[in-house]
Structure 1
């Protein structure tokens, strides 16, 4: 979906799943967007994005990172431009212990490019694609950890070299909205297992509930409650894969008030019941 000629399922993107894929980049007929942070690595050739109203050049061998909820479109690509794309769920990105200014920069429309192009990333990313396609759950779990570390190093390099520029600095109101979102997402990430409601989160952050929801909609395009639900489902999926805990225990540990509510929301977001989801992954193992 990022730059044409790939096989990413629209439903996969709509659900905010983690994904790695490789394709030959082509120009896109129109801009699109989805709820991920993208990490792109062009292996050869050149590519130009129209991103947030600006032209952004992508060089071979140089990682780039951006929030894909902002409309983006590939408008120029050289021939045989092999591209590896990592779709990092927003919840995973927000949970990373990275520089706060870098997180704000990304949310406000910054387009981050690695300070140095190296051949090492190409070799490593090719292995990521190969191992991801093999579908072995333990390897996929390790890949997510590896990529999280690579993103943290990438962000640190950008911060240390002063590359946090070119993003939409915005008005004071925009900056305030991003700060509100940051405070609220930090609270969700820390307290998602508790029976908290949106007004509780807003109160803990010292923000009026209506201000909290407006900030979330302006910055992330969804309500605080929707983000809380998505985060809880994401953590439940992780526990279903990584543990043998009873499903009822996972439901309560992830903040769902009842098993029926958990089953209802989980199936609506993933297309499977928690038990079917766990069994499907067990068969792949």
Structure 2
């Protein structure tokens, strides 16, 4: 497949923003979507509303073209890359940490499908979305706590509405229509995500996480896996890898220091985990990205 048609246009360098470096924070955006030099990942669910133009994503298991008037939802923990962006493109949206994602009343199967690499896509949008998405970003960055809180609540309700209307599931190059389903929110999962967000750089295990949510460890592990399609430890590791990715891009710390500051107990554990998601050791990742920048 051809590379981006905007090689001379705006470029996004993964790791250069706080998205990867602070994976437990909610980020709003409203901008021209720049193409990306390489795939990146971040431990948030990404909400994209295409206001104008079109973009082309390469996901871990499928390609996705997003056109004006469409909203998509996908798990940022899967490596993904924007390879095309039209000259007139403009999008808005947010990166939702799981602690926010699990506050929503979504069909029970949705979270596991997202974590498994599927993208949810809808064309059921209107002029209210054109007004609201930019406003939510402005309110979130206004410094007014009431407005910021309101922006988050409105965004979560908007995402909930996405699953009350027709939407499409895109996965491994295939699309299928989804049926409406009952909802089953779990306060236990939200509590686990909240604890992990505040402690993922520390030495924590499933017992600590379960205790913070008031759950038996075995039940907590099963509940989290049913809800997300991944284990508790995999989620903790992904948060650490997201932070490490940004550190490798933005600093000159040694690989050992990056590993320790990202919550890993050893360089060997860090190298193994990083290679699994990036397909290369962290030293090669840093070298290749900096060569691309030059």
TM-score category, normalised to shorter length: 0.5 to 0.7
Aligned to 2:45: 37
Shift in Å, 1:141: 0.5
Q: Is the 8 A contact 2:121 2:169 kept in 1?
A: no
CA distance in 2, matches of 1:202, 1:168: 39
How many pairs were matched up?
203
CA distance in 2, matches of 1:76, 1:48: 5
Aligned to 1:197: 208
**1:1-285 alignment, distance < 5 Å:** 4=11, 10-11=17-18, 13-15=20-22, 16-157=24-165, 161=166, 163-164=168-169, 166=171, 185=189, 188=192, 197-198=208-209, 201=215, 203=217, 205=219, 215-218=231-234, 220=235, 222=237
Q: Is the 8 A contact 1:4 1:24 kept in 2?
A: no
Shift in Å, 1:77: 1.2
Q: Deviations over 1:100-159 (max 9, x none)?
A: 1111111111111114242321111122122223221110011111111111111332xx
Structure number with the higher helix fraction is 1
Q: Deviations over 1:193-250 (max 9, x none)?
A: xxx6357645451869xx99x83345x3539xx89xxxxxxxxxxxxxxxxxxxxxxx
Q: TM-score, normalised by structure 1?
A: 0.59
Q: Deviations over 1:172-197 (max 9, x none)?
A: xxxxxxxxxx89736736999xxx63
Shift in Å, 1:51: 0.7
CA distance 1:191–1:79, shift in 2 (3 Å): closer
Structure 2 unaligned segments of length 5 or more: list them: 1-9, 175-185, 197-206, 241-260, 263-294
Q: Is the 8 A contact 2:19 2:42 kept in 1?
A: no
Structure 1 unaligned segments of length 5 or more: list them: 170-181, 228-267, 270-285
Q: TM-score, normalised by structure 2?
A: 0.58
What value does the CA root-mean-square deviation take over the aligned residues?
A: 3.8
CA distance in 1, matches of 2:108, 2:195: 19
Higher relative contact order (CA 8 A, sep 6+): 2
Structure 1 residue matching 2:113: 3-state secondary structure? helix
CA distance in 2, matches of 1:199, 1:189: 10
